[in-house]
Structure 1
C-alpha cells in the first residue's frame, strides 16, 4: 500500500528545513496551572503528557501543554469541566449555558482556536480520557459530531491537559485545533467526599453538587468507585435588565395573546360598521383584552386597529431561560490488578445520566389561507367561534368566511397552550478494559498496552406544548362537527382548556451515537545516542463510529386536513405540527490507523546547545468513507543555555467528514441572523439582491419575531479536510529569579478544503450584495418579502486560516507572610479568515472574523486573558482571579454603537484546611462586581453571546471536603 502523497513530500522538505535550523519546534511542556496549585512531587517517574505517546522521565520534549490539576478544578468556581475549559484564553465560542438562545440543549463543548465546524461544536478538537477516545454527543434535534463534556461524571475527573497544537499524526483525526485529555482519579485508600452549594445574589441560578469517591488498595489490585451528582437551577431572561427586552426596537405591533388579524371582507364593511383599512394587511386588528365579543354586527367592537405602544408585547419575558436547569447523575468504577510482575489489567465501567430542559415562549402562531407562514387553512362562516359568522348571529347574507385561497392571516401567542418546553434525558454507557506491561526486546525494556472500549450515548427528548396544525385546521374548518372527537377552536379570543388540550402536541424523538475502539501501543528506547536515548512509540488503532437519528414520525408526516403539495394547492403546506421536521439519519464509518513517533536528542552540553532535540511522528489513516491519507509532524527544541528554550512545530492535520456532515437528513430549523433587505428594495437601492422585496418589509414581523426559517442538510460528496500547523515560541526560566517563567508562542493553522457552512447572515449578505446565483439559497414570499426558507448545507470551503500568539507569565515566591503565586495567561487572535469560492467567478470571498462580533453567537475578540494571585500560609489560603474578554464589533444599528465592549471579571476565594480528616472549607464569590455581559445587537433578542459570556452575575458558593 502506498502511503506517500504530495503533502508527505512537502513535509519532507519541511523536515530538511527543520534539520537545518530554519524552523524551531516543540519541546517543553508548559505546565500552566492556575495559581494556588499544589506543588508537584519531587519523585521522578516515567510519565506520558498529552502531545506524545512516548514515556519519559521529563516533559521537556513535548509540545506546549496547559495542565489543570485537581486543586485548580476545585478553586476555579466552575460547576463542570466544560465551564472550566471554556474560560481558557485559547478557547473560542463553545456550547454552554443551556439557554433557549442556542443549540446547546444541555450539552457542553470545548472549541479551541475558534476552529469548531459550527457554532460552538468543537469538532476539530480531540477529547480523550486517559489518552483514549470518548463517544460523540447527542442532541435535541439530532446527534452531534463532538464530545459532550457533560457526559463525564464530575467525580472521575482529577486533572485536565490541553495541547494547543495540531496532533493528528500522534492521535489521529479531529486533532487539528488541539487535544484535551481528561485524567481520571488515581487509586487511593479511603473515602473522599466533597459538596458544593452556590447561588447568585439575584436569588436564582442555584447549583448543588456532590462527589463521593471510594478507593481500596489490595495486595496486587485496586478498586475505585466514584459517585457524582450535579444540579443547576434556571435563570430567567426576565430576571436580568440586559435580557428582559430585545435591543431591536419595535416598529410595528408584534404578535401577542390578543392576536393580530388580517381579515379580508371586514374593511369598510357596512354591516359591521368597520372603517376603511380595518383588519387589512396595512392595519391588522387585535382583540380588546378582557372584552366579550358582541353578537351579530357588534362583533367588531371587540377588536381595534393594533398600534404601538398600546399593543406592544414582550415575548422575551414569557419565562424564557437565560440558563436552563440541568441535573446529572454519574457513576464510574475501575478495577486494576497485577496479572504477573510484568502484566497488569484495567477494567472500567461508567454510567451517566443528564436531565435538562429549555423553556421557550409559547408558540407564536402565524397561519392563514394564502397568507401567513403556514397556509391552506380555512374558517367557514358557520364555524362555532367565527365572530363574523352565522354561529354568532350574523345573517347568512352578511356572514364572512375565510377561505384557503383568501389572503387572511392570524398571528397569535398561544399562551393558552403553554410555554414550549424542550426536555432531554441523555444516558451515557461506557465499558472498557485492557492490559499493559513491560517486556524486554532487543536487549532493552519496553512498555506496551492493549485497550478496547465500547461506549454509547442515547437521548430521549420531548418538545412539549407545540401546536398540532392538522387538528387546528380541523377545529377551524367545516368538518369538525361531523368528525368524532373534534373540538371546535376559538382563535379570536381566549381558548378553553379543552380546546388547548385538543391542539397541544408533544413531539418525541430519539438519537444515539456509538463507538467501538481497539488500540495497541508500544514505547521504549531504541538505542543510545551521544546526547541521550532515541525513544520511539508506535501503535495501531481500529475504530468504528455509528449514529442514528429517529425523529417523531407524526411530525414528519404530511397533514390530512391542510392542502399538501401532493394536492396541488397553490397554498399548500407540508407541516403537520409546529415541531421542526427532519429526515431520519443513519450512518457509520470504520477506519484503521498506524503511527510511529520518535524523540531524537541531537546535542547535549556543548557550546550554544545545552540541548538540541527533535521529535518526529507519522500516521496513516484509512477510512471506508473517504479513503486514506498520511499525516506528519516534526518539532525541534533548542536550549542555547539552561534558562532558555526555543521551540516550534510543523504538523499536518487530517479530518474525515463526520457522520453528521455526511448523512444528516434535511432538518427544518430557525436561524438567528440579520436580513440586509429589511425595509424593502426602496430602502436598499444599492443592494441588487433586495430587488422585489416590498417597501416596508420588516423582518421582525415574520417567523417568530424575526427568526429565519431554514433547512440544514448533510452532503455525501464531502471530502476530507487537511491542515498545516506551524508554531514557534520561547520559554524562559531565569536561574537568577527562581519561580519566574515566561512563555511566548506563535501559531498559524491553515485548514484546507474546510468542511463548514456559512452562517445565515453571511448567506443573506452575499445574496443582498451580489444577487443572482447567490440568492439561490434564499426563498422569499413574493407578496411580503418574508424569508420562507434559507438552505444551509455543509461544503468544502476553500480555506480557514487563523494565527495568533499565546503567552504565560508566572512567578512563585515565599516570604514571612506565606507562599505566593501569580499567573498571567493571554491569547491574541491575530487573524481568522474564511475563504470561500466565488460562485460567480472571480476572486474568492474572504471573511475576516478576528475582532468581530457582528454575527449571532460568534464573538472573536483579538485579546483574551486570565490572571490569578494566590496566597497560602499554613492552613489558610486565598485566591484572586481575573478574566478579560476584549472588545469586538457589533452590527451597525440605531440603538447603540457598533461595538461590543470589553469586560473584566473578578473572582475571590478564601479557605481553611483543618487538621483532622484532611477536611477543608472554602467560600468564594465569582464576578464580585456583578458585571453583566456587554450588550450585543447581533445577539438580540437575548442581547449577548451566550457562548462567550454568561448573564449569571455575582455568584457566591461554599465548598466543603473531607477524607475518611
Structure 2
C-alpha cells in the first residue's frame, strides 16, 4: 500500500507544484529537504513564500500568458504602477524611447530597478532631465525567469532610490537544450505591426557535469502607429468645433491663432489691410486662396506624428556557471540589449516660417550663462523682395519646404552588462560575492531643426532667393535644416559581498544574521548636441556631467522567538562622496495568529541621493503650465486693447539650474497587512501602505511663493489687440518672455497612502478542467503634496504635475486574470482597469473645471471661450482593456499561441490636461491609456523546444 507525503503548503505555492513522494506503509515517511530561496528585500533565505513585506512574483509563465511581447508592456499594467510612470507612447519625452516604473505613484526616481539583484546603469537621458531610472523597455522578454516586485521601502537593504519599492528582474541563470519562439502581430486599425524571434540554447548539467553554459538571442521589430491612422477618432482629432472649442487642425485660422496660421499653401500677408481683407493676402500656391483658407480648406494633415514609435530591439545574453567544489559555484553573465526607435514631438510650429520676428534661441552651453542667440529682428519680406507682390512689407506664413514636419530624433540605446557571482559556504556562513560593470549608451540623430538666421538670409537674397514652394538647392537645405548627432553615456561599476548564517535555535525557529558591504560608482556623460547648445538649430538641449561613488555596510537580523512569530531588523550605512552619509534602519514582523490568518507589517526609512542632474554640471529647458504675461496680458483677456494675444494663456520656458548644496530626499514608510487562507486553494493578502517623502528635490518654479525673474526679448512690432476686436501691428512696452531660471531646491513632502488586495483562487473541476483567478487591486486613499505649509490632496487628480510629470493620478487600478486549462489547452483572460480621475491639479492652481485645459501642457482648445473648459471635460473617465491569450501544446515539443489585446477595442478617454502628446494635438493619456490608442491587436506565435 502506497501513500503520499505532501510538502508544506508554502513550498507548494512558491514553486507552483505539489510534490508527492511514495513510501512503503510500514516505513516512516521520508522528510524532504526544504528548499529555501532568497526573496527580494532580504538577504536571508527562507522557505515561506509570503514574507513580512508585500512581494508580487511574476513567473515567466505568468508573463507569457499576458499576450504581450515586451517587459515594458507587462510592467506598465501593474496595479501598483502609478503616477509618474514612463511609457513609450509619449515619443516627445526627455527620455524618449525609454520606459520606467513608478510604484505607489512616487516617480521613477523613487523606484529601484535591479537586474539579478544588482544595480543597473541608469538611462543616460533622465526623466524630465532630472530623475534617473532604468529603462525596462530594453529587457529581453524571453530571457526573463521571473520578476519580483517588492512593494515596500527597502533602502535598509539596497540604499538610495528604494523608497517606493523595488522591481527585481531576474534573468535565466541556466538552460539546457534548445528553444525557439516566434511571434507576429498587427493592429486592426493599422500600424504597429510587429514580429519577434527568440532562440535559447544551452549545454551541461550543473549537478552531473559540473557546469552549464547557455546563450539567448532575441530580435523584435515594431512598426510605428501614426496619428494619421487614428485621426478620425475624437481623441486623435484636432477639430473641437462640435465640442464647444476651436478647430486646431493645422492650417485652420481661428481665434486661438488670431486667424493667421501656416497652411497647406505659403502666403504673404500685409498687416496694414487686416485679417478680414482678402487683398491683404498673396497665396503662392493656386490650390489655396483667401476663401478656402478662411473656410478651413487649406489644412495640413499630420502624417508624420507617431502615437507609438517604430522600434527595433536586438538582445543577446550569455551565461556560464561552474561548480568549484563543495558548495561553491561561479556564475558569469554577459549581455547586450540594443534598441532603436524614432521619436518626435509631432507636427510643430517650429517647422514653419516666423511671420513677424524671430526672438532667437536659448543657448545652453556648459559652463556659460544661458543666452538668447540668433535673433532675427524682422522677418518681414520687403516690398521689393522678388516674392512680394503686395506692395508693402509682408509676413510669410507656411511650412518650410524640404524640412521634416517634425523635430525628429532617431534614438539608439545600447546597454551592455557584465556580471560575476560567487556563491558558497564557509565556516557556517552562506557567502555571496558579486562584481560587475554596466554601460548604457544612447546615440541620437536630430532632424527637422531650423537655423533661422540661415533661412532669412536665404529668403532675402537679392538674386535666387529661397523658394517657399520648394525646389531649393542642397546647399541651402543643409544650412537651413542641418542633420546632426549626439551621444550620451551612463556607466555603473559595482562590487558587493555579504554572508548569512543561523546563529542559534529559538523556541519558534532560528535566529539568523546577514551582513555585508557594497561599493558602486556611477558616471554620467550626457553632453548637449552642438547645434542645439549653441542655439543654431533650436532651443538648448539638456546636458548632464557628473559622477558619484557610494560605499555601504549593511546587516539584517531575523528571529522566530516563539512559534509562528517572525521578526527582523535591518540597517544600512551609506557614504556618498557628493553629500556625506545616510543611515537607514528597517523592521518587519509576521505572526500566524491562526492557520487561516497571518498578520504582517514593516517599518522602513529610506532616502534618495541627489544625482548628477541635480548637483553636477547640468541644465535643461522646460515648460509646465500656461500663464498670462503679467505685463503684455495682465487681465488674461486676448481682446483687451493693448494686450498681445500671443502673451495670453501661453506656456513660458524655464532654464533649469543645479544646486550643489542639495540634501538627500528622506522617507518613512510602513505597511500592515493580512494573509488569509480561509479555504483550500484560496489565498488573499490585504496590505495597507503609508509612504511619506520629505525634503523632496523639486524645481523652485513649482513652489507657491516662486516669483520668476523673466528674461525678455527686445520689444519688436507684433500683433496687438486694437479697439472693437481688431488686430493691429504695434511695438509693446516690453518684449516677449524668453525664459526664467529655476533652481533645484529641497522643499516640501509627498505622502502616499493606500490599500492593496491580492486575491488568488484555483479550482480543479475534474474532467472539465482547471480554473484559476487572480485579482490585484490598488486603492489610493490619499496623495498629499505639501509645499511651504500649503497642503494639496491630489489623489484622483492630475497632480502633482510639477513633481513627477503630468501623467494623471487615478485612485484605483486593478488587474484581473482568469484562466482555464485542460490537457494541452490553456486560455487566459486579463482585464486591466484604471479608474476615472479629475483633470484638475490644485498644486498648480487648477482648482475648478474652467481651468482644466490650461494646466501643465495645456492647450487653447477653448480660446474662443476665454479658455474656459466645459464641465464635461473635467473628469477623465475610467478605462478597461481586455486581453485574451490561448496556448495549445500541439506536440511534446511544439506549442502554438494566439492573443487579442484590447479585445473589445475600447478607445482611450479624452484627457484635456495631459501633455503626453502636445506636439500632435491628441487628447489622450499615453501613460495610462495607450492600449486604447493602439486599439484591437492580434498576434500569433509558436515555440519549439528540444
TM-score range, shorter chain: 0.7 to 0.9
- 1:471 paired residue number: 454
1:754 partnered with 2:690:
no
CA distance in 1, matches of 2:506, 2:573: 28
Residues 98, 358 of structure 1: 8 Å contact kept: no
- The question of 1:108 aligning with 2:99 is answered yes
1:146 to 1:790, Cα distance in 2 relative to 1, 3 A: same
Question: What secondary structure is seen at the aligned counterpart in 2 of 1:957?
Answer: strand
Shift in Å, 1:640:
1.3
The match for 1:887 among 812, 836, 840 is: 836
**Residue of structure 2 aligned with 1:588, choices 543, 547, 572:** 547
Q: Which residue of 2 aligns with 1:912?
A: 888
* Counterparts in 2 of 1:543 and 1:151: CA distance versus 1, 3 Å: same
Q: 1:77 to 1:455 in 2, by over 3 A?
A: same
Displacement, 1:680?
7.6
Say which is worse superposed, 625-634 or 853-862, in terms of deviation: 853-862
Q: 2:267 touches 2:283 (CA, 8 Å); kept in 1?
A: no
1:833 corresponds to: 784
In the alignment, structure 1 residue 953 sits paired with structure 2 residue 935? yes
Question: Are residue 543 (structure 1) and residue 520 (structure 2) matched?
Answer: yes
5+ residue gaps in structure 2?
Answer: 1-8, 21-32, 248-254, 362-373, 716-731, 840-851, 854-867
CA contact (8 A) 1:166 1:177 kept: yes
Does the 8 Å contact 2:376/2:452 carry over to 1?
no
Using a 3 Å threshold, how does the CA distance of structure 1 residues 72 and 61 change in structure 2: closer, same or farther? closer
Tell me how far apart the structure 2 counterparts of residues 546 and 291 of structure 1 sit (CA, whole Å): 57
Match of 1:71 in 2: 61
- In structure 2, the partner of 1:569 is none
Compared CA separation, residues 582 and 320, structure 1 to 2 (3 A): closer
Structure 2 Cα separation of the partners of residues 32 and 469 of structure 1: 65
Indicate how the Cα distance of structure 1 residues 628 and 312 shifts in structure 2: closer, same or farther if over 3 A, else same: farther
Where do 1:145-184 residues align within 5 Å? 145-184=132-171
Partners in 1 of 2:184 and 2:648 — Cα distance?
41
1:926 maps to 901
Which digits, 9 at most, give the CA deviation of each residue in 1:178-207, with x for residues without a partner?
001111114232001111111111122112
Whole-Å separation in 2 of the counterparts to 1:677 and 1:391: 37
2:266 & 2:651 partners in 1: Cα distance? 18
How high is the TM-score relative to the length of structure 2? 0.81
Alpha-carbon separation, structure 2, partners of 1:59 and 1:696: 65
Mean Cα deviation higher: 748-757 or 508-517: 748-757
Task: Indicate the residue corresponding to 2:487 in structure 1.
Answer: 510
Q: 1:267 to 1:798 in 2, by over 3 A?
A: closer
Question: Is the Cα contact below 8 Å between 1:366 and 1:409 reproduced in 2?
Answer: no
CA contact under 8 A between 2:883 and 2:902: conserved in structure 1?
Answer: yes
Kindly indicate whether residue 774 of structure 2 is the aligned counterpart of residue 823 of structure 1.
yes
Q: Indicate whether 1:627 and 2:584 are aligned.
A: no
> What's the CA shift for 1:944?
1.1
1:126 aligns with 2:92: no
Q: Which runs of 5+ in 1 are unaligned?
A: 1-27, 117-121, 269-275, 293-301, 402-407, 482-486, 558-574, 605-610, 838-843
The match for 2:283 is 288
Structure 2 residue matching 1:948: 3-state secondary structure: coil
The alignment's TM-score, normalised by the length of structure 1, stands at 0.80
- Aligned in 2, Cα 1:306/1:913: closer, same or farther, shift over 3 Å? closer
Cross-structure match for 1:389:
384
Against the structure 1 CA distance between its residues 873 and 678, is the aligned structure 2 distance closer, same or farther, given a 3 Å change threshold? farther
Query: Residues 858 and 672 (structure 1 numbering): CA distance in 2 closer, same or farther, change over 3 Å?
Result: same
1:568 corresponds to: none
Please say if residues 525 and 534 of structure 1, whose CA atoms lie closer than 8 Å, have aligned partners that are also in contact.
yes
Asked if structure 2 preserves the Cα contact closer than 8 Å seen for 1:236 and 1:323, the reply is yes
Say which SS state the counterpart of residue 472 (structure 1) adopts.
helix
**Distance of aligned partners of 1:70 and 1:757 in 2 relative to their CA distance in 1, 3 Å threshold:** same
Task: Specify which of 520, 523, 527 is matched with residue 504 of structure 2.
Answer: 527
Partner of 2:911: 936
Aligned CA distance change for structure 1 residues 522 and 393 (closer, same or farther; 3 Å): closer
What is the match of residue 76 of structure 2? 86
Contact 2:832 2:881 survives alignment (8 Å): yes
Cα displacement string for residues 880-904 of structure 1 (whole angstroms, at most 9, x for unaligned residues): 1111110111216545431100111
Aligned residue in 1 for 2:196: 209
For 2:72 and 2:10, locate their aligned partners in 1 and report how far apart those are by CA, in whole Å: 22
Distance 2:876 2:386 in 1: 56
State whether structure 2 residue 241 is matched by structure 1 residue 243: no
Report what 2:607 is aligned to.
654
Would the aligned equivalents of 1:100 and 1:320 in 2 still touch at CA under 8 Å? no
Q: Deviation per CA, 1:402-440, whole angstroms, max 9, x where unpaired? A: xxxxxx765532243123321011111111213211112
Matches within 5 A, 1:671-710: 671=623, 673-675=625-627, 681=633, 684=636, 695=643, 697-698=645-646, 708-710=652-654
Q: Distance in 1 between matches of 2:911 and 2:631?
A: 22
CA distance in 2, matches of 1:935, 1:464: 31
Aligned length: 833
1:14 matched to which residue of 2? none
What is the distance in 2 between the residues matched to 1:902 and 1:778?
A: 42
Change (3 A) 1:30 1:722: farther
Query: What are the superposed Cα offsets for residues 448-480 of structure 1, whole Å, 9 maximum, x if unpaired?
Result: 0111101111111011122122322432356x8
Give the distance between the partners of 2:689 and 2:466, measured in 1 at CA: 62
For 1:835 and 1:742, locate their aligned partners in 2 and report how far apart those are by CA, in whole Å. Answer: 34
Q: How far does residue 806 in structure 1 lie from its aligned partner after superposition?
A: 0.4
Which residue does the alignment assign to 2:756? 806
Indicate the SS of the match to 1:74: helix
